[in-house]
Amino acid sequence: QVNLVESGGGLVQAGGSLRLSCAASGRTFSSVTMGWFRQAPGKEREFVAGITGGGSSTSYADSVKGRFTISRDNAKNTVDLQMNSLKPDDTALYYCAATRSLIVTAYSSLYYAWGQGTQVTVSA
């Protein structure tokens, strides 16, 4: 079992940057593929980015490619999401999640642990 706590959300103007962090508990964190998802009001939860346990493989949604970067520090049990060139459409509640899949997957149903979420609001 892994417990996840997100931090780093806030209000930022369009074009600005934020860095989200997800702190995880659990001794086997380095073997767990992690993902970031987001959910805007009235919309379904969507995949944003993912990273494999060792950090060698990452994947991004087309909407964030070139602007967002996912990384992890297994010594600190953290997964970060650096978000640059933010747009109002990026406004959402952002969640980190853990999956037993050995590869990054965009299917939220395959993630077994979720954090509470951190709010990101981008003003025009």
pLDDT of residue 10: 97
Res. 116 pLDDT band, cuts 50 70 90: very high
Which pair of tokens denotes residue 120? 């990101």
Q: Taking residues 76-80, what's their average pLDDT? A: 96
The answer on pLDDT for 26 being more than 90 is no
- How far is the CA of 52 from the CAs of 18, 78, 101, in angstroms? 22, 13, 9
pLDDT of residue 27: 75
DSSP state of 100: S
The answer on pLDDT for 51 being more than 90 is yes
Q: Which residues contact 68 (CB under 8 A, 6 or more apart)?
A: 48, 49, 60, 81, 82, 83, 84
Helices (H), the chain: none
